[in-house]
């Protein structure tokens, strides 16, 4: 399935949660924090400004980004693969 976001929305694949602590303790799924870091999979065409022009997004596919913990909506694609669909405003920074 190819997901193409609209407007200023971005599809992000969340980084996997770590299964162990720094001390080697194995964490159950319920105790894992959801990572706030992920890779941009696809982006929309951009936001339409008040003067009617379209402003391109500042992120592009392949960028690794940081986002807020409650950013976006989570969707399942192709069975088990989960992605987040969020607005560009929910992205805090690009890493790299």
pLDDT tens profile 16-68: 766 666 677 776 666 555 668 999 999 999 988 899 899 999 999 999 999 98
Query: Is residue 94 predicted with pLDDT exceeding 90?
Result: yes
pTM for the full model? Answer: 0.77
**Per-domain residue ranges of the chain:** 9-15+30-95
Q: What is the pLDDT of residues 59-80, one digit of tens each?
A: 999 999 999 888 889 888 777 7
Query: Is residue 14 predicted with pLDDT exceeding 70?
Result: yes
pLDDT of residue 21: 63
**Dihedral (C-alpha) 18, 20, 23, 25: value to the nearest 10 degrees?**
150
CATH number for the domain running over 9-15+30-95 = 2.30.33.40
């Amino acid at each position: 399935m190819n997901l193409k976001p609209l407007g200023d929305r971005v599809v992000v694949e969340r980084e996997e949660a770590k299964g162990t602590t720094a001390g080697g303790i194995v964490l159950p799924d319920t105790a894992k924090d959801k990572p706030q870091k992920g890779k941009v999979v696809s982006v929309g065409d951009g936001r339409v400004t008040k003067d009617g022009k379209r402003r391109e997004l500042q992120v592009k596919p392949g960028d690794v980004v940081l986002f807020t913990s409650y950013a976006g909506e989570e969707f399942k694609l192709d069975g088990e693969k989960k992605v987040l669909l969020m607005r560009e405003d929910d992205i805090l920074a690009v890493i790299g």
